[in-house]
Amino acid sequence: TRMWIMKLHNILLLLFVFLWRCLHGELPILITAFPSPCQIRTSPRSLQQEIVRVRHVHTDRESFLNIRGEKLLFMGKLTLCISVCVFQSDCVNYVKIVHHYNRTHLYACGTGAFHPTCAFVEVGNRMEVRNRLSKAKPTQTHTHTDHVFRIDPSQVEDGKGKSPYDPRHNAASVLIGDELYAGVATDLMGRDFTIFRSLGRRPSIRTEQHDSRWLNEPKFVGSFWVPESENPDDDKVFFFFRETAVEAQGLGKSTYSRIGQLCRNDMGGQRSLVNKWTTFLKTRLICSVPGADGSDTYFDELRDVFLLQTRDRKNPLVYTVFSTSSSVFKGSAVCLYSMNDIRRAFLGPFAHKEGPNYQWVPFQGKVPYPRPGMCPSKTFGSFESTKGFPDDVIQFARHHPLMYNPVYPMSRRPVFVRTNVDYSFTQIAVDRVSAADGQYDVMFIGTDKGTVLKVINVPKESWNNMEELLLEELEVFKDASSIINMQISSKRQQLYVGSDTGIAQVPLHRCSVYGKACAECCLARDPYCAWDGTSCTRYLPNTKRRFRRQDVRNGDPNTLCSGDHHKHRVAEKKLYGVEGSSTFLECIPKSLQAKVTWTFQKNTQNPREEVRLDDRILETDRGLLIRRVLKRDVGIYQCHAMEYGFTQTLLGITLEVIPSVSSSVSNLPSDAPVRSGGGPAMTNQKLWYRDFMQLVDHPNLNTVDQICEQVWARKNAGSEQVDKVFPHLQEIRKGRNRRTHDGKPNPRAPRSAGE
């Protein structure tokens, strides 16, 4: 008992010291807008393309937001935070919502140190004139236009129902007119999740509380507004989230991905569901791969959603990213849904359960009129408001928010799948590109390893049979931090990528990396690029050029490049390998779809034959590895890339084999000064070969001339140091170790984004 009393005394003492330091300003509030748990969602407008990074600011009594040097007052209650924070890093303001409100203001909400806070941020322009020194001119002025962000302290308001308390909780929102629709946790402990409508003139509306049939521990992913008809009263708001499935109760805890809908003009019920949604419905989103035995492999965790607008605003395409929750099977997938399939599921049967021991089945009874989920309008009925709905409609909607039929992806399978890889998909952004043979949706897929995959789907025999095509794999962040946000700027032709550690700007197209030959440009099959007769450049549909060649669907260079006068020249190089050691013949095709083969020729008079692979000679995705070099390996090696029936030679490597130390000594002439016991001549011979063997594999010495210059420099250093170990060889080894761990990575596989 005494021991427990002492422990309790120590805990209370530490708590008292912590509270005293906080209240006296010794533990300041940290305000940031882009830390680890943050996921900023913005409207895809021109102003949102100006992505800003908010710096860290420490203060004692007031909290400021610092954007590009401008301090913005952003209130946060430290006293409340102290009572609930376990870690000081939680007592900060994590910006969770940013929306374009009008031409002059943004609307932003954050956790506010466990006190959700929102504010209107004024956006203006400021002209800065800076002096620049120049040798040609003594002074030269440079005008710089920058954005100015201001917050009026009197306009700061409570953010409950708009931003979560805890930075680890996700939030999804959409601003429609002057109304904010947000999926968020509205309590401190993160147990009351709701879809909340705020701002605007209409009353605030939310989902039913403490009813797992409505929302059950949801993780909100995205929210979008889609018009239903020409009548704005029919407009609906869709929320995408994943949650613990009530259908799987009794079978273990399972996660299902959902899509929920509600009407914009929902005013709640008159006697029941007062100030609650009366039009809320949800159903399951399925993303699975059909198996040969009839069983499907499910990707059950929704990660991101992207709405691709089409010519028909009422029918955008819904691109989604899924991952698996299983510890046995790891994989990610991209699934594509149509609004017609989504609407069809919400018009299907309702899910019904008679009691705790019953299964979920389709509701077989009479559905009241107007059908729950329909918006009050003159298009589908005579009701002007949900407050005029009959009581049986409200009661049915209250107890049947779940639909029985799920939403399946188009073609009943994902458009892109990756399994057995060391990364997972986290984000997606899609750009529709017009090419010479049609339109293609280019998918930019972010991963949790800081890379971005550039993918398209091309038809095989018909547009109903699609083939996935990986165009590029870009390494955006060197620290392999997870990508948490991506935005496309069609105007600037840039992709903006955000992670926990920073923001990067990546061009949508890099046609120059596909090489300088017509065949390489055509085989890349990038809808952004085409061969213009001299180089691989950006394809512009409205530009008429006689020599422009592009075929994304087939990528046949035999047809497109048959009359090309710029013949492909094979690069040649010479490589030296030491007998008994290993060597590597590097060859990386520019196209990720190419299949590489190797041929060997002893000399120009001998026939060329394919390299035989075994335990000694291995083929990797970056070249040919010879684990132990033999004398018979001397010859000419050629690397060939074969793709869609077209074969081209990429590289020719002439391999010369240098005899090892032991074989060189045994082959010395009879009159050579060989001495027993390792005399000076013998020692000098061994040291020369040992030095040369290290220089051959040196990463910065690429030619024979450079190797020889290093060897001659050592021999001229002085004959008195011949028998000693060269001290700078130790520096070479250290340099090699440093370059191995800290050097710049190869710009391919994956290619560097800065290339």
Q: Which of 71, 70, 51 is nearest to 62 (CA)?
A: 71
pLDDT at 426: 96
Q: Are 518 and 566 in contact (CB under 8 A)?
A: yes
Using CA atoms, how far apart are residues 466 and 410, in angstroms rounded to an integer? 11
Mean pLDDT of the chain: 77
- Which DSSP category does 704 fall into? H
Q: Is the pLDDT of residue 540 over 60?
A: yes
**H or E element in which residue 456 lies:** strand 451-459
Q: Is the pLDDT of residue 202 over 50?
A: yes
Q: Which residue has the higher pLDDT, 648 or 267?
A: 267
With cut-offs at 50, 70 and 90, classify the pLDDT of residue 602: confident
Q: Are 114 and 84 in contact (CB under 8 A)?
A: yes
pLDDT at 663: 55
Using CA atoms, how far apart are residues 331 and 420, in angstroms rounded to an integer? 6
Report the number of secondary-structure helices (H) and strands (E) in the chain: 10, 43
With cut-offs at 50, 70 and 90, classify the pLDDT of residue 676: very low
DSSP class per residue in 575-617: EEEETTS-EEEE---SSTTPEEEEEEESSTTSPPEEPPPSSSE
pLDDT at 450: 93
pLDDT tens, residue by residue, 181-192: 999 999 888 889
With cut-offs at 50, 70 and 90, classify the pLDDT of residue 91: confident
Q: Is the pLDDT of residue 746 over 80?
A: no
Most confident of the ranges 33-42, 83-92, 609-618, 670-679: 609-618
Q: Is the pLDDT of residue 224 over 70?
A: yes
Q: Which of 108, 257, 115, 97 is nearest to 182 (CA)?
A: 97
Q: Is the pLDDT of residue 69 over 70?
A: no
pLDDT tens, residue by residue, 151-174: 888 889 999 999 999 888 999 999
Most confident of the ranges 78-92, 187-201, 535-549, 631-645: 187-201
Q: Which of 38, 109, 51, 43 is nearest to 76 (CA)?
A: 109
- Which DSSP category does 720 fall into? G
What would the mean pLDDT of 230-248 be, rounded to a whole number?
92
Distance of CA 203 to the CA centre of its chain: 38
Q: Which of 650, 655, 654, 656 is nearest to 571 (CA)?
A: 650
Q: Among residues of the chain, what percentage have pLDDT more than 70?
A: 70
Q: Is the pLDDT of residue 488 over 70?
A: yes
Q: Are 221 and 39 in contact (CB under 8 A)?
A: no
With cut-offs at 50, 70 and 90, classify the pLDDT of residue 375: very high
**Long-range contacts for 465-470 (Cβ within 8 Å, ≥24 apart)?**
466/411, 466/415, 468/415, 468/416, 468/417, 469/525, 469/593, 470/592, 470/593
Q: Among residues of the chain, what percentage have pLDDT more than 90?
A: 39
**Cα dihedral angle (467, 473, 474, 478), rounded to 10 degrees?**
140
pLDDT at 47: 34
Q: What percent of the chain is helix, strand and coil (3-state, nearest 5)?
A: 20, 35, 45
β-strands 301-308, 317-323: how paired? Answer: antiparallel
Domain 510-568 and domain 571-658, same fold? Reply is no
Cβ neighbours around 364 below 10 Å, total: 8
Q: Is the pLDDT of residue 60 over 60?
A: no
Q: Which residue has the higher pLDDT, 191 or 260?
A: 260
pLDDT at 709: 63
Tell me the two tokens of residue 583.
């060597």
Domain 571-658: state its class. Answer: mainly beta
- Partnered with residue 462 across adjacent β-strands are none
- Burial group, residue 222, by CB count within 10 angstroms (0-12, 13-18, 19+): buried
Q: Which residue bears the tokens 């004398």?
A: 631
Length of the chain: 755
pLDDT at 73: 46
Q: Is the pLDDT of residue 150 over 60?
A: yes
- Partnered with residue 609 across adjacent β-strands are 600
What would the mean pLDDT of 33-41 be, rounded to a whole number?
35
Most confident of the ranges 33-37, 383-387, 569-573, 698-702: 383-387
With cut-offs at 50, 70 and 90, classify the pLDDT of residue 34: very low
Is pTM beyond 0.75? Reply is no
pLDDT at 719: 45
Distance of CA 330 to the CA centre of its chain: 17
Q: Is the pLDDT of residue 256 over 60?
A: yes
**Cα–Cα distances in Å, from 217 out to 132, 195, 212, 221?**
57, 12, 8, 13
With cut-offs at 50, 70 and 90, classify the pLDDT of residue 715: low
Phi then psi for 411, rounded to 5 degrees? Answer: 70, 10
- Burial group, residue 722, by CB count within 10 angstroms (0-12, 13-18, 19+): middle
Tell me the two tokens of residue 611.
């390299």
Domain 510-568: give its CATH superfamily.
Answer: ligand-binding face of the semaphorins, domain 2 (3.30.1680.10)
What would the mean pLDDT of 615-637 be, rounded to a whole number?
89
Sequence spans of domains, the chain: 510-568, 571-658, 661-724
Phi then psi for 317, rounded to 5 degrees? Answer: -95, 140
β-strands 29-32, 92-100: how paired? Answer: parallel
Q: Is the pLDDT of residue 64 over 50?
A: no
pLDDT tens, residue by residue, 549-571: 888 888 778 777 876 555 567 78
Using CA atoms, how far apart are residues 323 and 417, in angstroms rounded to an integer? 10
